[in-house]
Amino acid sequence: MADDVWTVGRLLTWTTDWLGTKGADSPRLDAEVLLAHVRGCPRIALYTAFDTPVADAERARFRELVKRRGEGEPVAYLVGSREFFSLALTVTPDVLIPRPETEGLVVRALDLLKDTAAPRVIDVGTGSGAIAVTLAKHLPRATVVATDISAPAITVARANAERHGVADRVAFVEADLLDDPQAAGPWDVIVSNPPYVRDDEYPALPRDVRDHEPKGALVAGPTGVEIVARLAGQATERLAPGGWLLVEIGPSTAAAAEASLAAHDALEPGPTLKDMAGLPRIVQARRR
């Protein structure tokens, strides 16, 4: 094939090399996701189309997305979607991009609720709705409420609930943590992936995170556990007896987060759970 013909395989090879020079963590994956998005096909379909020429119009769209990725814009925002717990979720710059570490919250909540006939669950700081929508999908008899202080985030979360057929079973509430009558409970599980980055950690975050994801959903304050501490205090009044509080935290603030839960006599702390990398990721406590 002539050297001036841009095939799927040639585009992927060139783009992978170029994104690598721009510091992308996973340049080949980024190239594949962007090209599959432009071509409107599953990523795996690219592997049977390496020798297929790419039309000029598709190549122009792909080139623009690659340029933006090279400037640090996250792939999930470029394609408008991210997979979480095998669900494709709509994401926009108004919400954090769901991460694999957060799936641990879902796994733990499902384990705790597996024998509860009609569980009551609230997702605090829902963002894209990843946790709330996933729990509603896997707990068809659950009452699920999701709160967020951001109205644009609530809009995204509600769209994801509609996308996955659970909009009639998840109530979305614009509120600061549990400061709303609809968040009063009592809850069998309160689950949250709140802001937990310290002020001094923020400048060192990866460029695509620091420059593109919403700062208000990342940074908690000087200690990184300001939100965790507030939520723990509210949970003492809103958990059902025996109910659980599950909170994702950053490894650097694990000890402070554990202390925030242990400070409340009404809460009995459980062991902090680690993520796939062996780092402390989820603090938990049970209402006595």
Summarize pLDDT for 220-278 with one digit per residue, the tens.
999 999 999 999 999 999 999 999 999 999 999 999 999 999 999 999 999 999 999 99
Full domain range(s) for residue 60: 8-71
The predicted model scores a pTM of 0.93
Are 46 and 181 members of one domain? no
Summarize pLDDT for 60-117 with one digit per residue, the tens.
999 999 999 999 999 999 999 999 999 999 999 999 999 999 999 999 999 999 999 9
Summarize pLDDT for 253-267 with one digit per residue, the tens.
999 999 999 999 999
Are 40 and 152 members of one domain? no
C-beta separation of 168 from 143 below 8 A: no
Task: Report the Cα–Cα distance between both ends of the chain, in Å, rounded.
Answer: 71
Per the model's pLDDT, the better-predicted residue between 26 and 3 turns out to be 26
Number of domains the chain is built from? 2
C-beta separation of 84 from 153 below 8 A: no
The span from the CA of 77 to the CA of 37, in Å, is 12
The helix/strand/coil state of 17 is helix
Give the domain CATH number at 155: 3.40.50.150
